[in-house]
Amino acid sequence: MSLISRTVSIRFSDELLDRLEKFARQTDSRRNAIIVRAIEDYLDLNEKESVKAEARRQSLLASARTHPEDEAWPELAAEDSGST
């Protein structure tokens, strides 16, 4: 984590802020630390999922491509097995 920080403003519902404050008291933590950790965890998880989704997309695109040779494979396989 960077030592340099910037201030941002976030709006919370009363209910969410109450939950955050209660959790901070229970864990003897600062609200800021909880919020930063939650955002880091969220981004870590979703960035990994985004990479996985892109890999799946690329795999599907690659497997969907057809080549002229692709149509010959069933015939070649049949010839190799002696069923023609």
CA distance linking residue 78 with residue 10, whole number of Å: 66
pLDDT tens sequence across 5-35? 899 999 999 999 999 999 999 999 999 999 9
* Domain housing 49: 14-81
As for how many domains the chain has, the answer is 1
- State the pLDDT at residue 68: 65
**Residue 5 maps to a domain:** no
**Residue 8 maps to a domain:** no
pLDDT tens sequence across 26-79? 999 999 999 999 999 999 888 887 777 777 777 877 777 666 666 666 776 677
CA distance linking residue 2 with residue 17, whole number of Å: 26
CA distance linking residue 38 with residue 40, whole number of Å: 6
**Residue 38 maps to a domain:** yes
Record the pTM: 0.57
**Residue 7 maps to a domain:** no
**Residue 48 maps to a domain:** yes
